[in-house]
Amino acid sequence: MYIAEVIFNQNRPSKELKGMSNSIPLRTFRKPIRDEDSDDDDFLDRLGEVEEGRIRSEDDLERPLIGNGVNRAEKDSPRSSLESRTVNFTATARPGLSTAFPPNTISNTLYTPLTFLPLTLYHQFRSFFNLYFLLIALSQTIPVLRIGYLSTYIAPLVFVLGVTLAREAVDDLTRRRRDREANSELYETVGGEWVRAGQLRVGDVVRLEKDRRVPADVVLISTGSNRNADEEGEVFIRTDQLDGETDWKLRVPALPSTVSLLSGRIEAESPSRDIHNFAGRLVLADGGMIPLSVENALWTNTVLASGTAIGVVVYTGRETRAGMSSTKTSGGKTGKLELEINNLSKILCALTLSLSIGLVAAGGFDNGSWYIDITRFLILFSTIIPVSLRVNLDLSKSVYAHQIEHDATIPDTIVRTSTIPEDLGRVEYLLTDKTGTLTRNEMEMKRVHVGSVGFGEEDVNDVRSYVANQRNTTGGRGKREVGQKVRDVVLALALCHNVTPTTDADGFTTYQAASPDEIAIVKWTEEVGLTLKARDRRSITLWNSQAKESVVYDVLHLFPFTSETKRMGIVVRERKQKAEEVDGDIGETGKDGGDDVWFFEKGADVVMQKIVKANDWVEEEGGNMAREGLRTLVVGRKRLSNEEYESFRERYEKAGMLLQGRDVSMLSVVSEVLERDVELLGMTGVEDKLQDDVKPSLEVLRNAGVKIWMLTGDKVETAKCVAVSAKLVARGQYIHTVTRLQRGEDAVRELEFLGSKTDSCLLIDGESIQLFLDTMRSEFVGVATVLPAVIACRCTPTQKADIAMMIKEYTKRRVCCIGDGGNDVSMIQAADVGVGIVGKEGKQASLAADFSVLQFSFLTKLLLWHGRNSYKRSAKLAQFVIHRGLVIAVCQTVFSVSSQYAPIALHQGWLLVGYATIYTMFPVFSFVLDRDVSEGLARMYPELYKELKEGRTLSYRSFFVWVAVSVYQGCVIQILAQFLVGLIGSDDAPNAKMVAVSFTALVLNELAMAAFEITTWHRYMIIAQVCTATVYFVSIPFLGDYFNLAYVVSIPFVWKTALVLGISLIPPIAARWIRRRLKPPSYVRLQR
């Protein structure tokens, strides 16, 4: 075992702990991990058992559960290969520097100053385009291969690389600045020293204030608040940036209130990804031991929601839970369109090489410099793969980003990765988080049903009147009138929960709980007159606002809700007392114990139906509420005599002492004693409010052919309710549930069923997903990807990322992931397109994403409008730029053949540079403003988006059509120019008259073709056409080195150029018109 020790001086006690007794009464301790005669190695052996899976959770360290409940155990959780550790600490000094633990710095950057240039250049020259142009540019440094100006070939490549490197540098500097801000946050150690978050070390004792981010994985030692001797203190944390759940989680200090800690030792398990479990112990100076569990742990990136916390840092940096669950991309993302263009470029390169070899072969290999001729031809035909294509595509991406960010209908949308806007138009799988993404995480109680009658929002006054007349609510059983039933169910709901009221300095009370629907129910009981006034781990105080009286219940046992049990329960005893209100507080006099003990329980209807009696109406009413998208809970109760309770308590405590099978034994006792003859009280329906326009957005995306997966860390029941409410699951669609799979044969059976029912929705939990990923990955993804919807629950951040990568690898289709929490970052970064929502609790997902939006409904316009336009525009732009290069290359080929296969340039110097820039660039680039349909039609007919997934806009078929057009027009222009004017001039150079006709017809041909390709004219398109033509004609007088200027102003030049241009343009334009008439595109049919 690796033991990391940090030794400190023990000086004076800190002011926070001063005054507490140094004595440690044995009664204040929970059950020690070991007996007095056991040794330290026994504990470490048992920690090893936890890591090897022989002990499933911290509960197996022989520690009674907090609140006498049963904690969730995450079986087979991924563990680190690192070893367990021992951390010595003191409250009066900081630990020394140690290389045993990683630094506590956050780093989301992709490069360092040393690796930036090598890595970015490596990623750039992985592109066939850039590598090809680099070789061409380098060839111009060899005198025998030089053709024209060196800058003609080098300048465009340098420009493209410069733009790309500048963009990467800006993006990485932005990430570095955000990291520096997080690492520079100041935190106070208990010794009074302020330390930056990035400089915290294992063994530091830090003080955390309310609303501060937890900078490292910390064991909570004390709450730093004034507590009475019989209070243990508690704080709440927000974990939404870790697990996506915005509900507050309760955390308790490891130390009893009577202990003043000067120094100690923490023995903890090895670093792990498992955020739901933690095993360790706190060893005090006198040898006393306190077991540690997840209830004592504050994980990195959680936020302290209440109070003050004092804790010891046990894990830092990459060894924290958040650090081990995160992933980092190795470089910028590459769009699918760019990959497709890369493949087309390889075809063009092969064509160039074949053409060069063919021309040399046609002239004969007798010349000893034939290989030089081939190379010169390759350089001459380099326009076939135009470097301007990269320039145009890179600039177009910037235009798309500007259009997205300045769209007033999706305000504050930010494009953080400008290299993949076209991929927004090719998304086929959408992986979405639930909490904060589809929902607002705002719950509201909608309905309560008591068997014979139901009460909705409009019946609150009726319920309030029943509660106001409360008398002996825990009275006799039997058939009671409706008012009594209502009072009973309201009381049960007011007691059976894990909600804690907190009051701020202004006297404003808020509720905190592990589940937002619990808060919604407690708020509803407050609205009807029964308020949760106070709560600690031993008692609950209710205030009847109508009767002006309070009732205190002693909490004897609490059984928290788990995804396995799907229910929660509480055992209480009413405390006999008289209460009076003094300055708004309730004072107590005259306590004595009550006679009866009550067990209240609520849970999912499928579970509670087997527990409660007389449940004939539960299934029907539950179905009615589920169809409305409400989250349902069935409520019941049971009265226990003192004798029955004592019998239960003895059996339950005995089961809690077991080392093996403790959870099962304790649940068995609860089931056998408490969950028999439970009286049915009623059923509740709670609505999880969806974000604005989520339902229509999901429907539009489904119609657009996008398959939607909902990945959440939340419970199965919660996810199912939200899926139904959001219409992710269609009306009447069968939901096939797969949970807690552990055996391969069961997994095979499930896959066979799903394969035979491909129209169903799959609801699966994280444990089952992990089994599929580990044992039958390809079979699972093959079945799951054809389903219309998949709901995955209890997913870890790593599982979310694994699913995204799995779909990408198997389908080769574009995957979009959207989320709002820190737990979604891995998934977002693993996606082809990552979208982050600016959530209520932070911007971590937004900052890590390629696109940042304010709400889910913005995604619809991002995909169906901006994504579709970006893809179609870039596809048209790319094909036209290739066409432009092919035409001039074909002209060069015809000229070379006519001049006896000599590698002589037809268009030299400025003509070649000007043709790809000022003479044609702006009309071609104006395609970025084109649109084939209006925004309203694009949303009204989402099927238009579905067509894009096949990539027909830029396909091998469309590519070869453009090649054919280019070959035709290049041959016509050059052959007719040579025929009408002549080939060679008097100096054996290309005829300047012929060059003038050929080049002028070439430029005007491209301007006309660009105009005919435009679907919807924009004023900038008109300006580009007019200005470009004007610039060309104005520049002709400066082209005397290439043209015969006297001939250019003659009538023969005009009619010959017009004739060449007409024969070049009319057939392709006529063929396109006929094809559109016979087989019009879908957008043309819609416009008609």
Q: Give one DSSP letter per residue of 628-648, joined into a string.
A: TTPEEEEEEEEEE-HHHHHHH
Q: Of 367-371, 577-581, 834-838, which range is least confident? A: 577-581
Tell me the pLDDT tens digit for each residue of 855-888. 999 999 999 999 999 999 999 999 999 999 899 9
pLDDT at 493: 95
Q: What number of residues does the chain have?
A: 1088
Which of 110, 129, 131 is CA-nearest to residue 120? 110
pLDDT at 16: 34
Show the CA angle centred on residue 644, arms to residues 638 and 648, nearest 5°: 95
Q: What is the pTM assigned to this prediction?
A: 0.69
Query: Which DSSP string corresponds to 787-812?
Result: SSEEEEES--HHHHHHHHHHHHHHH-
The predicted model gives 509-520 an average pLDDT of 82
Which of 286, 236, 278, 281 is CA-nearest to residue 261? 286
Cβ-contact 75, 56 below 8 angstroms: yes
- Judging by DSSP bridges, how do beta strands 539-544 and 530-535 pair with one another? antiparallel
pLDDT at 14: 34
Q: Is the pLDDT of residue 1064 over 80?
A: yes
Is the model more confident about 148 or about 420?
420
Please name the amino acid found at residue 868: R
Measure the CA–CA gap between 881 and 186, rounded to whole angstroms: 54
| Residue 646: other Cβ atoms inside 10 A | 12
Tell me the pLDDT tens digit for each residue of 998-1027. 999 999 999 999 999 999 999 999 999 999
Measure the CA–CA gap between 828 and 850, rounded to whole angstroms: 8
Cβ-contact 1056, 980 below 8 angstroms: yes
Q: Of 44-58, 294-308, 619-633, 641-655, which range is least confident? A: 44-58
pLDDT at 262: 67
For residue 851, what are the β-bridge partners? Answer: 415, 835
Measure the CA–CA gap between 24 and 290, rounded to whole angstroms: 12
pLDDT at 401: 93
| Residue 957: other Cβ atoms inside 10 A | 9
Terminal-residue alpha carbon distance, the chain: 76
pLDDT at 349: 83
Confidence of residue 768 (pLDDT cuts 50, 70, 90): very high
Cβ-contact 348, 383 below 8 angstroms: no
Please name the amino acid found at residue 1042: Y
Measure the CA–CA gap between 775 and 99, rounded to whole angstroms: 38
| Residue 989: other Cβ atoms inside 10 A | 11
Q: Of 145-154, 212-221, 667-676, 690-699, which range is least confident? A: 145-154
Which of 855, 847, 853 is CA-nearest to residue 824? 847
Continuous segment of H or E residues that includes residue 237: strand 235-238
Q: Is the pLDDT of residue 8 over 70?
A: no
Tell me the pLDDT tens digit for each residue of 925-946. 999 999 988 898 888 899 899 8
Measure the CA–CA gap between 1058 and 973, rounded to whole angstroms: 11
Measure the CA–CA gap between 885 and 452, rounded to whole angstroms: 80
The predicted model gives 631-655 an average pLDDT of 90
- Give 155's contacts (C-beta < 8 A, 6+ positions apart): none
Tell me the pLDDT tens digit for each residue of 651-668. 988 887 765 676 788 889
Tally DSSP H helices, then E strands, for the chain. 36, 34
Torsional class of 67: left (φ above 0), alpha (ψ -120 to 50), beta (otherwise): left
Measure the CA–CA gap between 363 and 902, rounded to whole angstroms: 8
The predicted model gives 276-304 an average pLDDT of 84
Which of 680, 499, 514, 685 is CA-nearest to residue 601? 680
The predicted model gives 173-181 an average pLDDT of 84
The predicted model gives 706-720 an average pLDDT of 84
Distances (CA, A) of 127 to 338, 340, 831, 874, 916: 9, 11, 21, 18, 21
Would you report the helix, strand and coil content of the chain in percent, each value rounded to 5?
45, 20, 35
pLDDT at 66: 29
- Give 639's contacts (C-beta < 8 A, 6+ positions apart): 474, 477, 596, 597, 598, 599
Q: Is the pLDDT of residue 134 over 90?
A: no
Per DSSP, helices labelled H in 381-515 are 388-405, 460-468, 482-495
Distances (CA, A) of 1031 to 36, 648, 906, 1009, 1042: 95, 95, 22, 18, 17
Measure the CA–CA gap between 747 and 742, rounded to whole angstroms: 8
Which of 115, 120, 85, 84 is CA-nearest to residue 5? 85
Is the model more confident about 410 or about 662?
410
Is the model more confident about 872 or about 57?
872
What percent of the chain has pLDDT above 70?
84
Cβ-contact 405, 414 below 8 angstroms: yes
Measure the CA–CA gap between 866 and 407, rounded to whole angstroms: 10
The predicted model gives 595-609 an average pLDDT of 87
Tell me the pLDDT tens digit for each residue of 556-572. 998 888 767 778 999 99
Continuous segment of H or E residues that includes residue 361: helix 336-363
Q: Torsions phi, psi of 815, nearest 5? A: -115, 130
The SS3 of residue 1043 is coil
Q: Provide the angle, in degrees to the nearest 10, between the axes of the packed helices 388-405 and 128-139.
A: 140
For residue 984, what are the β-bridge partners? Answer: 990
Strands (E), 31-145: 85-90
pLDDT at 623: 78
Cβ-contact 220, 300 below 8 angstroms: no
The predicted model gives 745-771 an average pLDDT of 90
Distances (CA, A) of 222 to 20, 291, 408: 12, 15, 50
Cβ-contact 70, 184 below 8 angstroms: no
Continuous segment of H or E residues that includes residue 76: none
Per DSSP, helices labelled H in 74-150 are 116-125, 128-139
Give me the sheet containing 263-268, strands edge to edge: 85-90, 263-268, 280-284, 289-292
Tell me the pLDDT tens digit for each residue of 255-287. 765 566 667 888 888 888 888 778 888 888 777
Question: Which residues participate in catalysis according to the annotation?
Answer: 433
Q: Is the pLDDT of residue 37 over 80?
A: no
Token pair recorded at residue 121: 């250049």
Please name the amino acid found at residue 461: N
Average pLDDT over the chain, rounded to whole? Answer: 80
Tell me the pLDDT tens digit for each residue of 228-244. 433 456 788 888 777 65
Measure the CA–CA gap between 973 and 1005, rounded to whole angstroms: 9
Measure the CA–CA gap between 132 and 135, rounded to whole angstroms: 5
Q: Of 303-312, 624-633, 647-656, which range is least confident? A: 624-633
Confidence of residue 367 (pLDDT cuts 50, 70, 90): low
The SS3 of residue 555 is strand
pLDDT at 232: 52
Cβ-contact 793, 820 below 8 angstroms: no
Q: Of 63-72, 167-176, 607-616, 894-903, which range is least confident? A: 63-72
Cβ-contact 47, 291 below 8 angstroms: no
Cβ-contact 1000, 924 below 8 angstroms: no
Token pair recorded at residue 794: 């209890």
- Give 829's contacts (C-beta < 8 A, 6+ positions apart): 327, 328, 329, 801, 848
Cβ-contact 860, 701 below 8 angstroms: yes
Cβ-contact 357, 374 below 8 angstroms: yes
pLDDT at 1027: 96
